[in-house]
Amino acid sequence: MAVSPQAITQRSSDERSGTLLQRGVAIGLVLYAGFVVTPASWIVLRELVIYPLAEVVAITSVLVGVYRYRPSAPQAWLLIGGGLFLFLIADVIWGVYKTLGLDPFPSLADVFYLAAYPFFAAGLVVATIRRRGYGVDVRATIDAAIVTVICGYIAWVGIVMPIVNDDMLTPFERIVTILYPAADLLLLAVAARFVIGSSWNMRALRMFVAGVFLLFMGDVIFARNSAGLQYETLWDSMLLAGILMMGVAALDPSMRALTEEPGDPWARSDKVRRVLIACAVMVPPLVLSWQQLRGRPLYFSAHLTAIVALTLLVAARFGLMAAGAERSAAREATLSDYTANLLAAAGRDRLFAIARQALTMLGKTANGKARLVLEGEHDTRREMPFRTEVKLRGKEVGTISVDADPATLRLWRESLTTIATQLSIALERDWLLATEQETAERLTQQNARLRELDAMKDRFVSAVTHELRTPLTSMMGYLEILSAGEVGELNGDQARMVNIIDRNCRRLDELISEILVTAQIDSGRLKYKFTQVDIARLASKQVESIQAVADKSDIRVELIVESQPPLLSADEMRLGQVIDNLLSNAIKFTPAGGTVTVRVAHRGDTASLEVSDTGVGIPADELDQIFGRFYRTTTATATPGTGLGLWIAQSIAKDHGGTISVTSELNVGTTFDVRLPLRAVDRPTTAQHHEVRT
Amino acid sequence: MTETRQPISSQKADGARPVVLAADDDKDILELITFRLERSGYTVLQAHDGEEALRLAQAANPSLAVLDVMMPKIDGFELTRRLRADAATSRMPIILLTARGQDADVQQGFDAGADDYLRKPFSPQELRARVQAILGRR
């Protein structure tokens, strides 16, 4: 691991500061121990050496800390150091008085003592203001006020009133005496606000706050025993410890946090605070009861003031809590509205707009401002305490950033993450929908175009067929009249030639029909009319109708019904065409004197129709090609034909859910076997797409 | 037009011959039909398109009509429907000639009200046989 020189410096400096704090604490402990063990009678050592020395250590610690750690707002620590310095002067004056055996009251020392408190308070006010972060935490202020009122009330009943009623004191002495708890209260109010409003869970701050607390306790004990002074060592040592801790705390690097750490309100929930406030309200009645039990004066005016003040503060506090609850309900509502709106909307801009709207609404529920900054937009705020990304297809398209106090931030964090996540999901969904829609549209367009092309081809073939058949009709019609001798008898040659023309016209007609059917099969527009068909009877009909042609070529055609298959669902005319195609082929390729056999049988769950001939046969390597369109075998070159008949036959067989297979032996013969399923199968009413074999 | 009038006059001269209306936009086919049927003892009225055929059928009330399907102006199907819709010609037998030869076309012809049809190319003798069969029936 590579460590940068800067990091090394940082660490060694931190190590040194660790030693620094330890040294400060060690010196403090020595001085404290020295003070405690020194007999009360050694006034010079105690009051003029150890005490001022401890204060010098405290002040030096503050100065060293400020110099070493360079807090951005050193004035807070310097004010505290100033307070400690005033303590030093006061204690030196007091020490001199004591050494001289004097105990003047009020004295010059009191002036400096009392002047120190406002300095401490000012230091904490600066710290609180600097750490305020974003906006004023009203709840923390009210809570601190409640603490102050209770403490003030106790001080009033327990300290101030006894002084006021002390007949031994002159009015001036009373005022000065009362100024001490007043100064304490001032410091307490500020310290409470600091503690409640901020995170002080750092070594330097813990030490400092503990020091302030010791200062209070020392003052309380002093005040309660001002007459007797019997606990002088106790309260004096407490004050000494407090002063040392307040000063030495500045030797820890976390001393910077006094003014730099953003304010993080007391992490306790409202629930805990509510319990504490309820306890606080119980204090006046308890004190009242205590006073009555001890037989002391009751001070009703103090009770009344405390109760009224506490009631008002508690009411304000609960009011704020209720407002907070209302705001969180509004926040929930905003979020659920947001989700619903996102689901209902489409389009990226619209979704962003909805998110922005939700953030504005959210801003109304708390003390802060959240904004959505899109990719490419300029973010005017340099640093935001909270950011969360909005992503689309794994890429950041924007950030939601917040400018708010930490309390608001904690409340919002979850909501903002939700907003960002929901927005990312909505964007993703929107993108997918748009893409899907685009693809669907493109496919629909392609489909429409293909359908149109198919229809065009159909119309074309249909028109061409019509155009070809019209002249053919004239030619064949007049040939018929000619050969019938209706316009004069033809001689032998003439008759033969007219016959040749007629035969070729018929071939042409056949070719046109085959092309038309081929085009129809291709475009899936060949229509079928399924009925119950007796295949044996159909075969017999076809054999009969081709008999004349076969006779002419001197070929015997025989039909053998091996076993009668049940009726099958088929288009009789198309199936007839299949049989006719196979029969014509067989006759065409069989030499005179040969035999063509049609065999019908019921085989398993199929009806079988075999057409065998004793013809020229098909070479083995061409067998798998004969069903291809326009394919003509090498043995068929001398025989007229289009090469479409077998393809059409197979297409029709397929549309019936059947097959045509072929076996052949050269110069022995060929057998085509048509198999049609007897079970009902889903058949298209029009032919579907056909595989084209080449 | 002169061609069409002549047979009408011949019809008057020889009232015993049944009159057959033949309509086809192909003159050669029209001639073929006329030759065959005139030779077989019919008087033939020639029409070259659907409109003319409709006019002739309504004017001359022929005994039978042989109509091509693919004709300009009014096609054979439509013509058949119109003839069937007209009271004067509603009972006139109609034979359609179709070149497309698709079952759907044949079905359409029967739906329109045709009595018979022939696929092109047709045998003139076959046509004569159909005509004789229908008129002999009556």
| A186: nearest Cα among A148, A159, A234, A221 | A148
- Name the residue among B28, B26, B58, B56 with its Cα closest to residue B44: B56
* pLDDT value at residue B15: 55
Q: What is the pLDDT of residue A210?
A: 92
CB A597 within 8 A of CB A612: yes
Q: Please judge whether A477 and B29 are an interchain contact, meaning their C-beta atoms are less than 8 angstroms apart.
A: yes
DSSP, res B1: -
C-alpha distances out from residue A344 to A337, A354, A415, A430, A440, Å: 11, 11, 20, 11, 21
- The pLDDT tens digits for A577-598 are 899 889 888 888 888 888 899 9
Determine the pLDDT at residue A672.
Answer: 92
For residue B107, the domain's CATH number is 3.40.50.2300
Closest residue to A466, CB basis, from B29, B100, B122: B100
For chains A and B, count residue pairs whose Cβ atoms are closer than 8 Å.
60
Note whether A509 contacts B103, CB cutoff 8 Å. Answer: no
d(CA A105, CA A85): 21
Q: What pLDDT is stored for residue B76 in this prediction?
A: 87
Q: Is B133 exposed, middle or buried (0-12, 13-18, 19+ CB in 10 A)?
A: exposed
How does pLDDT run across A236-249, given as a tens digit for each residue?
888 999 999 999 99
CB contact under 8 A, A484 and B121: no
Look at chain B and report how many structural domains it folds into: 1
Separation of alpha carbons A684 and A100, rounded Å: 126
Contact state of B123 with A480 under an 8 Å Cβ cutoff = yes
Q: How far apart, in whole angstroms, are the C-alpha atoms of residue A197 and residue A137?
A: 7
Q: Cβ A474–B29 below 8 Å, yes or no?
A: yes
Residue B11: predicted pLDDT: 42
Q: Which residue of A has its CA nearest to B39?
A: A486
Q: Rounded to a whole number, what is the distance in angstroms from the first to the last CA of chain B? A: 31
Residue of B nearest to A474 (CA): B29
Contacts of B19 (CB under 8 A, 6+ apart): B7, B11, B42, B43, B44, B45, B60, B61, B62, B63
Tokens (6 digits) for A320: 């704020």
Distance, CA of A304 to CA of A300 (rounded, Å): 6
- On whether the CB atoms of residues A560 and A575 are closer than 8 A, the answer is no
**pLDDT computed for residue B71 by the predictor:** 86
For residue A106, is the peptide bond before it cis, meaning its omega torsion is within 30 degrees of 0? yes
Domain residues for the domain of B21 are: 2-8+15-137
* Residues of chain A contacting B101 with CB distance shorter than 8 Å: 465, 469, 513, 516
B107 touches chain A (CB under 8 A): no
Q: What is the pLDDT of residue A470?
A: 87
Interface test with A, best of B31, B32, B35 (most A CBs within 10 A): B32
Residue identified by tokens 């869970």 is A201
Report the residue from B29, B101, B103 with minimal CB separation from A470: B29
Q: Identify the architecture of domain A528-677 in CATH.
A: 2-Layer Sandwich (3.30)
Task: Collect the ranges in chain A with pLDDT lower than 50.
Answer: 1-12, 228, 263, 265-268, 683-694
Q: Is 3.30.450.40 the CATH number for A325-445? A: yes
Q: Give every residue of chain B whose pLDDT is below 70, as ranges.
A: 1-15, 100-104, 137-138
For residue B123, give the chain A residue with the closest CA. Answer: A477
Quote the tokens at residue B81.
């429907």
Amino acid symbol at A418: T
- Contact (CB, 8 A) for A633 and A684: no
ipTM of the complex: 0.81
Provide the β-strand partners of residue A403: A369
> What is the pLDDT, as a whole number, of residue A226?
57
Q: In this structure, which amino acid lies at residue A44?
A: V
Which among A24, A256, A212 has a CA at the least distance from the CA of A116? A212
User: Where exactly are the structural domains of chain A?
Assistant: 13-131+200-266, 138-197+268-316, 325-445, 528-677
